[in-house]
A and B are shown apart, each in its own frame.
Chain A
């Protein structure tokens, strides 16, 4: 897109571009705050049941594979790096580089989901399922089924957000490749990046709280 076309991104009700950018950023952060509170409802359940069933949670945590969780943590942290670098590139006007970094971030998200898929499969096979579906005879203490309920609900909701984030990243990568972004206009990359960082942030808490009890 030619440089002159960049001015058309300014909407009529904003007095100038910096105000519009600031507004978009503030709006996105407020949305992230709502996501934090969405997960808080599940973290509350987690906190309560870990408090009530601390030994059982400790025992049940051994049955989810720490090395997979650790790998996934590294994957997401690295994906946060690539998306931050993508924004950096977009700011410099390096559209193709930004697109490549966004695609890399998406790929890391894919790796995360594949690893998670392997984990889930293992749980299905061994009967470590939520609630009334729990059929894992090796650990039958009160609270064991609840651990896996919490595990599936929290990682499930997190996984859903990873998928949504991957969709957003793919869309942004396409736009970056087409040259939609520039030093003057890169807000969508910034906002999409913020969403992806939140996905990473939530996992930063999920990993020790679920895998390292």
Chain B
């Protein structure tokens, strides 16, 4: 399917942005596209808040000893940084923004399966955000985002608001997942078989499965901590025969699959970007599609690798360590296939592709350090040091946030019909990537040297690397601010974009940019898979 003249005519018709006017029409919308835009505003606000906490952390760590705050305040800073970043940005962002906006467009549907439920998830998110902010005003949690018992059940810091926020945000996540699964099962347009689905859809499906199965366990566990903290009875209380490590089992049963909730959508975006910017369709489509399901499945078997030094039995630790190795296989499959997709493709070296390259390198390095950490005998030394912090930031920032930025730039013309300054985009991408490297590579070194995490002071021998990390963080932050500026400029003063500036043959580009309120005046029919840059004949002969 190629863009038709009809879509240009439709472009002059009101888009989903302008079709209905007034705040009320947005607050009561059932349009998945508007919901995606609302989530964009909400999650970026949360990202700014989490980033603020990050900068405060890095400022504190600029010098050994207290710099701008005391130890108790520092505990609250890193706790809130983690809670806000993970529950309010990393987990929801790509699914609720780009999943909501593009899933129906990619499968030829008019909307998701349950549009009113979709709107409800926006309000659940707002409630969760409100509870989290209320919790911050009450002083915030000082337990770390991991809420380990018995500290979280006995601390006098007011933790129940952020715990309740986590529960509510979890419900938002669950209902998004249910919506996506049912949408993909029931609303595919005629001709769109499972094996013709965009890889983005496969990865969103896998993400949704994790959201549905894992999140309820977290919700219950956070509630149990809140009950024990507020009312004084619970199942983690050692004085009553409770096992505090039970909390860790329950918490990580969700939180490990949660990291796949964070990375699978990023991989989803990157699969689309690599095909569009290499003008080649996915090498090993089936392997990449299945590897998403593989990650989702195997990701549930490995949570005990967070408990290696918590008193878990060596037998169980051995099991979890071996199982963790298997997860790397599926990521490797994706990395090989993305690379093979680029090979002999026609590369378009603009901002989304630059972010893809950053994503790829940082995913490989971050992932390899994950495999290293999965080795019990090594983890004993690295546990609770900056090595672990660097590992997960490599994946979360170096991969997931790069993917988010890539998605934002790839789909900006589609969502808003505006162009942004390519020159500033490349400048910002370089700042983000270099800033990232200078922030987090020193953390690997610090962790290996033995600097513990969650400490507000450190011995002098760690000082230079901490200064480097803070400097890097400042460059990273500035790069992100530059992105914000030129994107806002683009919205207000930007030139109208062409319907398909990248020449992408992803299915979503068959609609106007921005799309109309109604996705498809007539139900489309699909006769082949996405990103077919060669005709079927050429593909056959080239093999």
Same complex: yes
Residues of A near any B CB (own CB < 8 A): 11-15, 19, 22-23, 26-27, 30-31, 33-35, 37-42, 44-45, 48-49, 52-53, 129-134, 142-143, 145-146, 149-150, 152-153
Do A12 and B241 form a contact, CB below 8 Å, given A40-B217, A44-B249, A48-B246? no
B233 A30 Cβ-Cβ under 8 A: no
Given contacts A23-B186, A30-B178, 6 further A-B contacts (CB under 8 A): A19-B186, A41-B217, A41-B221, A48-B243, A131-B237, A149-B240
Are B178 and A44 in contact (CB-based, < 8 A)? no
A134–B186 CB distance below 8 A: no
* B233 pairs with A27, CB closer than 8 A: no
Q: Name the distance in Å between B95's Cβ and chain A's nearest Cβ.
A: 15
Q: Are A145 and B216 in contact (CB under 8 A)?
A: no
Residues of A within 8 A of B111 (CB): 13
Contact of A38 with B216 in the complex, beta carbons under 8 Å: yes
Chain A residues lying within 8 Å of B333, measured Cβ to Cβ, are none
Given contact pairs A27-B178, A132-B232, A142 touches B241 in the complex (Cβ within 8 A)? yes
Tell me, in angstroms, the Cα distance from A132 to B243 when the chains sit together: 15
When distances are taken between beta carbons in the complex, the residues of chain B under 8 Å from A48 are 243, 246
Indicate with 1 or 0, residue by residue over B237-250, a CB within 8 angstroms of chain A CB atoms. 10111110010011
A34-B212 contact in complex given A13-B111, A23-B182, A40-B217, C-beta closer than 8 Å? yes
Some 13 contacts from A to B, beta carbons below 8 A apart, are A15-B523, A23-B114, A27-B113, A30-B182, A37-B214, A37-B217, A41-B250, A132-B233, A134-B240, A142-B241, A146-B240, A153-B227, A153-B235
A42 proximity list for chain B (CB < 8 A): 220
A34–B216 touching, CB < 8 Å: yes
Verify if B136 is at the interface (C-beta below 8 Å from A). Answer: no
A49 to B214, CA, bound (A): 22
CA distance A37 to B114 in the complex (A): 22
Q: Which residues in chain B, 67-120, are within 8 Å of chain A measured between CB atoms? A: 104, 109-115, 117
B233 proximity list for chain A (CB < 8 A): 129-133, 149, 152
Q: Give the CA-CA distance A150 to B242 in the complex, in Å.
A: 11
Q: How far is the CB of A203 from chain B (nearest CB, A)?
A: 18
Assess A27 versus B241: contact at CB under 8 Å? Given A38-B216, A41-B224, A131-B232.
no
- Contact call B115/A13, Cβ cutoff below 8 A: yes
B213 touches A (CB below 8 Å): yes
- Interface contact B182-A13, CB-CB below 8 Å: no
Instruction: Decide: A35 and B216 in contact? CB cutoff 8 A.
Output: yes
Whether B182 pairs with A27 at a CB distance below 8 angstroms is yes
Alpha-carbon separation in the docked complex, A27 to B114 (Å): 9
CA–CA, A67 and B388, complex, Å: 54
Instruction: Give complex CA distance A135, B185 in Å.
Output: 53
Given contacts A12-B110, A41-B220, A146-B241, A49 and B182 within 8 Å (CB-CB)? no
**Which residues of chain A come closer than 8 Å to B182, judged between CB atoms?**
23, 26-27, 30
Check if B217 sits within 8 Å of A131, measured CB to CB.
no
Contact of A52 with B113 in the complex, beta carbons under 8 Å: no
Which B residues fall within an 8 A CB radius of A? 104, 109-115, 117, 174, 177-179, 181-182, 185-187, 212-217, 219-221, 224, 227-228, 231-235, 237, 239-243, 246, 249-250, 523
* Least CB separation from A143: chain B residue: B241
The residue of chain A having its C-beta at the shortest distance from the C-beta of B171 within the complex is A34
Which residues of chain A come closer than 8 Å to B228, judged between CB atoms?
131
Closest Cβ of chain A: how far from B511's Cβ, in Å? 15
Cα A33 to Cα B181 with chains together (Å): 13
Q: Given the complex, which residues of B lie within 8 Å of A53, measured CB to CB?
A: 241
Q: Tell me if B523 and A146 are in contact (CB < 8 A).
A: no
Contacts of B113 in A (CB 8 A): 13, 23, 27
Q: For the complex, give the distance between the alpha carbons of A120 and B224 in Å.
A: 20
* A38 in complex: contacting residue of B217, B242, B249, CB < 8 Å: B217
Determine the chain B residues whose CB is within 8 A of the CB of A130 once the complex forms: 233-234
Q: What residues on A are CB-neighbors of B215 within 8 Å?
A: 34
Which A residues are CB-close (under 8 A) to B239? Answer: 132
Pairwise interchain contact B234-A38, C-beta atoms closer than 8 A? no
Which chain A residue lies CB-closest to B250?
A41
Q: Report the nearest B residue to A131, measured CB to CB.
A: B233
Cβ-defined contact, B217 with A150, below 8 A? no
Chain A residues within 8 Å of B216, by CB: 34-35, 37-38, 40-41
A12 contacts across to B, CB distance below 8 A: 110
Among A26, A38, A39, A42: residue with most chain B CB under 10 A: A38
CB closest residue in chain A, given B219: A38
Which single residue of chain B is at the shortest CB-CB distance from A34?
B216
The residue in chain A whose Cβ has the minimal distance to the Cβ of B235 is A45
Q: Closest Cβ of chain A: how far from B408's Cβ, in Å?
A: 26
Closest CB in chain B relative to A123 CB, distance in Å: 13
Would B240 and A13 count as touching, CB distance under 8 A? no
Q: Within 8 Å CB of A132, what residues of B?
A: 232-233, 237, 239-240
Instruction: Give CA–CA (A170, B521) in the complex, Å.
Output: 40
Q: How far is the CB of B250 from chain A (nearest CB, A)?
A: 5
Residues of A contacting B217 in the complex (Cβ-Cβ under 8 angstroms):
37-38, 40-41
| Chain A residues with CB below 8 A from B219, complex form | 38
Cβ B181 vs Cβ A49 within 8 A:
no
| CB closest chain-A residue, reference B185 | A26
Bound CA span A185–B54, Å: 53
Q: Which B residue sits closest to A21, measured CB to CB?
A: B186
